[in-house]
Amino acid sequence: MTEQVRLVRAELSRLIEPGDALGHLLVDQLGPVQAHQLIVSGSAEDQLSHRMSEAAAAAGLGPRQRNLAAGLQRWRTRLHQAAGERDLEVIERLGGGLLIPEDPGWPQALDDLGLQRPIALWFRTTETAASPQHIVARLPATHRSIAVVGAREMTDYGGRVTAELGEDLAARGVCIVSGGAYGVDGAAHRSALRAGRACSSTTESVPTLAVLAGGLDRFYPAGHEDLLRRVATEGLLLAEMAPGASPSRHRFLIRNRLIAALTAGTVVVEARWRSGALSTAHHALALGRPLGAVPGPVTSPSSAGCHRLLKETPAQLVTDAADVMQMVAAATEPMLPLAGADGTESPAQNALDQVSELDRRIYDALPARRLTTVEKLSSVAGLPVPQLLAGLTRLQRAGLARRINSSWGREHYSAGYGHIGK
C-alpha cells in the first residue's frame, strides 16, 4: 500500500505546484490516492466542492483560492507530464528516491508548515540505490541542523565568516543546511565538507544538506556541479520537485521555507536590502525558529539586509559558532514565561490577564513550541470551529497566537515587534 501511495505522491508532486494551498488542502482532506483520482477525473460533486470551500475558508484561504473547479483545471494542465513510475525509475538510477509522509521517520518538523508542507521529498545521495528507510536514518535531526544562507554576490568578508562559521558548527556535530546556490550557500556547503565527517562519524547523519529548487536529475547551478556531487555523495540533496522540473524564481523562494523548517535556526551571513536570503529569514521567524544575522561594514551593500533584520525583526546578532549555538539553546527555553527572574509578571502574563476565560482556554490548548490544525484544536479545547477561530483571531491580535497557513501555535511574545513574517 505504501508503494502505491509513493507512486501517487510522485505524480502529485508534479501536478500540484509547491505552495498551492488548495492543492495541499485537497490532499489533506481526501488523502493522496483520492485526491489524485479526483484530479484525473476532472470533476467534483457539489457536496465535495462545498466541503472543500468550507475547509479552505476555515484554513484562511481567500475567496479566489477556495474554488475547487478552478484548482482542478489548474492541476490538470500537467496531467500529460504525470508519469510517477518513470520519475521514480529516473531518481533510483541516480541513487535516490522519494520520501513521503507515510514513511516512518518523515521529518515531523515539516508539519509546522501547515498547508505549505511538501507533498513529498525527492532525495539524491550516492550513486548506489538508497531506500527511503536508509535516507530517514541519514537525515539529520532538526535540533542538530542549522541553516546558513546569504547573498550570491558574496564578499571576501562574507566568505571568511561563512567558512569559519560552517567549519566550527560542523566540528560541533551540526549539519549545515543551505540551498546550493553561488555565494554564501556554496561556501557553507564547502566549509561543512572541509570539516570532514565531524557531524557524522557513522552513516546515521550527514555533514551538509542542500535543498534544491528544481529536479534532482540535474545539478543547478551548473557551475556548482562538482560541489553538489560532493554534497550528494558525502551529504544529501533534497527537493520537492520531480525529476526534470526546472528551477524558477518562484520555486527558489518557496523552497526557502523547507530550509527554515528543517533546521533549529537560521543564520544570514550576508544579504542585500532585498536579497532572496531574507525570505528564508522570514520563514524562520514565521515558524518561530531563532534567527541570527551577521553584522558587516555599514558601507557594504552586501550587509544591508542583515542590518535590516537586526533593526526590524527579533533577529539576534551572531559573530561565530558559539553565538549560534547559544541562540539555538536559548530558544529551547519555555516560551512566554509567566514571571520574570525577579518574580514580577512578564509581558506575556500581562497580555494573558487581558483576555477572557474562553480565550485563555483556547490559549492553553495551543501547543507551546509546535503548530497544530484547527480541527485538532477544536477537539482539545472542546469548542466548535467558528467559535475557536474567533478566539484565535483575538489571541493573534493580542500577540499570543500565531498562524502559519492553516495551523496555529503560541506566539513568541515580544512587545513592539508586532507579527513578524506576515
pLDDT score, position 62 = 85
- pLDDT at residue 41 above 50? yes
Q: How far apart are the first and last CA of the chain?
A: 39
Give the residues across from 122 on adjacent strands: 98, 239
- Sorted by sequence, the CB contacts under 8 Å of residue 154 that are 6+ apart come out as 162, 182, 183, 184, 187, 269, 270, 302
Between vectors from CA 102 to CA 244 and to CA 180, what angle results, nearest 5°? 40
Which of 174-188, 363-377, 404-418 has the least mean pLDDT? 404-418
All residues at 6 or more sequence positions from 285 whose CB lies less than 8 Å from its CB, including other chains? 291, 313, 314, 315, 420, 421
Dihedral pair phi/psi, residue 176, rounded to 5°: -90, 125
Dig out the grid coordinates for 324 from the structure.
549560534
Alpha carbon distance 374, 386 (integer Å): 10
User: Per-domain residue ranges for the chain?
Assistant: 2-82, 108-331, 347-410
Structure confidence by residue, pLDDT tens digits, 174-225 = 999 999 999 999 999 999 999 865 444 443 568 999 999 999 999 999 999 9
CATH architecture observed for domain 347-410 = Orthogonal Bundle (1.10)
- The pTM (predicted TM-score) of the whole model is 0.79
Burial string for 350-387 (b: 16+ CB within 10 Å, else e) reads ebbeebeeebebbbebbeeeebbbbeebbebbebeeee
Judge contact between 21 and 116, C-beta under 8 A.
Answer: yes
Nearest to 324 by CA among 371, 260, 265: 265
Q: 21: helix, coil or strand? A: helix
Residue 26 to residue 95: CA distance in whole angstroms: 31
The lowest-confidence range among 10-19, 106-115, 319-328, 335-344 is 335-344
The pLDDT assigned to 420 comes to 31
At which residue does the C-alpha cell 556541479 appear? 225
CATH assignment of 108-331, given 3.40.140.10, 3.40.50.720, 3.40.50.450, 3.10.20.340?
3.40.50.450
- For residue 254, give Cα distances in angstroms to 2, 106, 130, 198, 283: 27, 20, 27, 30, 10
- 251-288, pLDDT tens digit by residue? 999 999 999 999 999 999 999 998 889 999 999 998 88
Residues 206 and 199 sit within 8 Å (Cβ to Cβ): yes
Name which residue leads in pLDDT, 183 or 403: 183
Alpha-carbon span 179 to 329, nearest angstrom: 24
